[in-house]
Chains A and B, each alone.
Chain A
Amino acid sequence: MPEWLQLASLTDVLGTTLRLSIPIAFAALGGVIAERSGVWNIGLEGMMLAGAFGAALGVFLTGEPLIGLLVGMLCGMLLALMLAVLAISLGVNQIVSGIAINLLSIGLTAFFARLIFGLDATTRSLAGFHDWPIPGLASIPLIGPVLFNQDPLVYLLYLLVPLLMWVLYRTPWGLDIRATGENPNAADTAGVPVFTVRYLAVIASGALAAIGGAYIVLAQVFVFTEHMSAGKGFIALAAIILGRWDPIGAVLAALLFGFCDAVQLRLQFANPAVPYQIFVALPYVVSILALVGFYGRVKPPAASGIPYRREAK
């Protein structure tokens, strides 16, 4: 039996998988909400980065991870608000808007990071969340340590998935979001405030993506580095498609990407002879292959990517 298939190793790989998928999962959940409302959020990457920056800022100033999380979410929501103004109110092409948000986020976070944290930002370790083993559950073999010996943000994700499923498929808000993403004209004539729905959905997606970014700082690396989101927001975009614009599907897709990343790390340590860069590129390659395999079998929300304007005949 290969070493890595033994129970302890397996627990280790699965635990790593979960941790590595968390940032992607949060961002992908945000993206699902925005896209179901009809706004394609390419800016997820920038919002994650803003979340990471805000988290570092909050912790840097107060030493409190929770405040870090909130500041991070606030930063993500601010960027999301800008995206909403561009893409929803001004009707700028949603791809252009998203790219603008990403570049703005990279520039602003790099500037303020050096300004506030100083040049030693990458070396100083910040306070973060600690693991909270859930009594009883955490001692179940294999899945216990994997699922229930984690930090609070992981548990937050566990709660968020059923919550979003309920909101999206069972409540008036969810109905409004789905209708707005499929046929904003119909939603508008039925009295749904299309613009408000899209604004709220985009801002919610910014908050969620920011939690994903904050997680990297508060539970993984405990420092802020320039452009530390490193394309995870783009992988989240692939996870949305792979997950068929559904919260559960998106999280499962994020887990798949996290698994690739975990295996990549494992192989890197197990086989130092094999060049590690090839493995680092693996999640991106898998994302593309997954898109090739799955795209077209499901349709995106019909109005996704199209700015809505009330028609004046």
Chain B
Amino acid sequence: MARAMELLFATRTVWAVVLALLVGSILILSAGANPIEAYRVLFGEAFFDRFGFGTTLVKMSPILLAGLAVAIPLRAGLFNVGAEGQIYLGALFSSVAALYLPEMNAILHLSICVLAGMTGGALWALIPALLKTYRGINEVIVTLLLNYVAIHLVSFAAGGPMMEEGAPYPYSAEIPSALFLPLILLPTDAHAGVLVGLVLALILHVGMHYTSFGFAMNTVGLNPQAAQYAGMPVKRQMILAMMIGGALAGLAGTFEVLGVKYRLFHNFSNGYGFDGIVVAFMASANPILVPIAALFLSGLKAGAQLMQRAIGIQSTVVDAIQGLVVMFVAASLALRFQDTVWARILARRREAEAAVQGERSNA
């Protein structure tokens, strides 16, 4: 029985999500619709309809990358609440590279765009990283504030120097079609960005769990003082974690330009950086779990639009459900197994065993 409870505990994030969906169904009821029908349409369209799944994949690309962008710094003990801003910077850098570089080989040009986008995100993340490690300034406030600076910066670029002539609202010229990311689920808009995200999740999983670099990163996150005494480069690991996060978010922004919009739009991101926070928490900052959480959340968002069209519930209900998911996941993470009655039962049994063994070895 106690062991069954242990299993239930290991999957508590899933239960938190289920609970959030249940509370969400109250919201749907309050909007005058049938929750079962609503969820059926939502998830049916998002996962079992070719077009719907395509939309899910389009949203999954930035959400997955933003999730990784939050998860990696989290492993080093840093809260990257600035993925949103890093997404904007990535889009800005990559679209500048896409629009203003002289003509060249498409593969080379694409690589430069991607690198530029990652650099933009990484540099934007470097600011809070340096302020944190060298001035001790809390990275949460700085990244939060920088989000707004980045959003306005892109508004300025898309509405000023980069604005297409005669455009009705701020957006840039279209990038060369040679740079468009390949589509993966014709005839939908799903592009290759999500595949890159999956590969990166796998690479980061290996990197965090099987390399000495990842070991140092985890140690810095769990106990920076112990890491310092063990000779690990604490500041460097923190800065790198933040920059890797920034680069991943920058990549998310890059793919929005190269794979979806083909232009730099102002206010294009819809809070993907904040979705990344949700995803990273759901995955307990574990890179290999981030795609699963990202798939769920992007399905929720894609399905919401289709649900709005099908049965007329405002898609904002999904924003509310998303908020509930974070709440319940956060609460579930606090329920540490050690604190429960079941843990005490297990511990007592183990203590008894240990005591018996101890007496034997002392004798």
Segment with Cβ contacts to B, from A98-106, A171-179, A183-191: A98-106
Count, chain B residues at interface, CB 8 A: 46
CA distance A199 to B137 in the complex (A): 27
Give the shortest distance, in Å, between A108 (CB) and chain B (any CB): 5
Give the shortest distance, in Å, between B42 (CB) and chain A (any CB): 15
CA distance A153 to B136 in the complex (A): 36
Segment with Cβ contacts to B, from A134-142, A159-167, A275-283: A275-283
Give the shortest distance, in Å, between A144 (CB) and chain B (any CB): 34
- Do A291 and B327 touch (CB < 8 A)? no
- Do B334 and A234 touch (CB < 8 A)? no
- Do A291 and B142 touch (CB < 8 A)? yes
Give the shortest distance, in Å, between A232 (CB) and chain B (any CB): 10
CA distance A113 to B152 in the complex (A): 25
- Do B159 and A275 touch (CB < 8 A)? yes
Give the shortest distance, in Å, between A50 (CB) and chain B (any CB): 11
- Do B141 and A91 touch (CB < 8 A)? no
CA distance A292 to B146 in the complex (A): 13
* Option from B135, B145, B155, B277 in Cβ contact (under 8 Å) with A238: B145
- Do B330 and A97 touch (CB < 8 A)? yes
Across the interface, name the chain A residue whose C-beta is closest to B324: A104
Give the shortest distance, in Å, between A152 (CB) and chain B (any CB): 30
- Do B145 and A234 touch (CB < 8 A)? yes
Give the shortest distance, in Å, between B85 (CB) and chain A (any CB): 10
- Do B316 and A114 touch (CB < 8 A)? yes
Known contacts A92-B330, A275-B156, A275-B160; A111/B319 CB under 8 A: yes
The interface residues of chain B lying within 8 Å CB-to-CB of A96 are 79, 281, 330, 333
- Do B156 and A278 touch (CB < 8 A)? yes
Interface 1/0s, chain A 233-259, versus B by CB < 8 A?
011011001000000000000000000
CA distance A38 to B1 in the complex (A): 39
Across the interface, name the chain B residue whose C-beta is closest to A115: B31
Q: Is residue A78 within 8 Å, beta carbon to beta carbon, of the partner chain?
A: no
- Do A90 and B146 touch (CB < 8 A)? no
- Do A234 and B330 touch (CB < 8 A)? no
- 15 additional A-B residue pairs with CB within 8 Å, beyond A111-B317, A284-B152, A292-B131: A86-B327, A92-B331, A99-B326, A103-B278, A103-B322, A103-B323, A104-B320, A105-B323, A107-B320, A114-B316, A231-B147, A275-B160, A284-B148, A288-B142, A295-B137
The interface residues of chain B lying within 8 Å CB-to-CB of A235 are 145
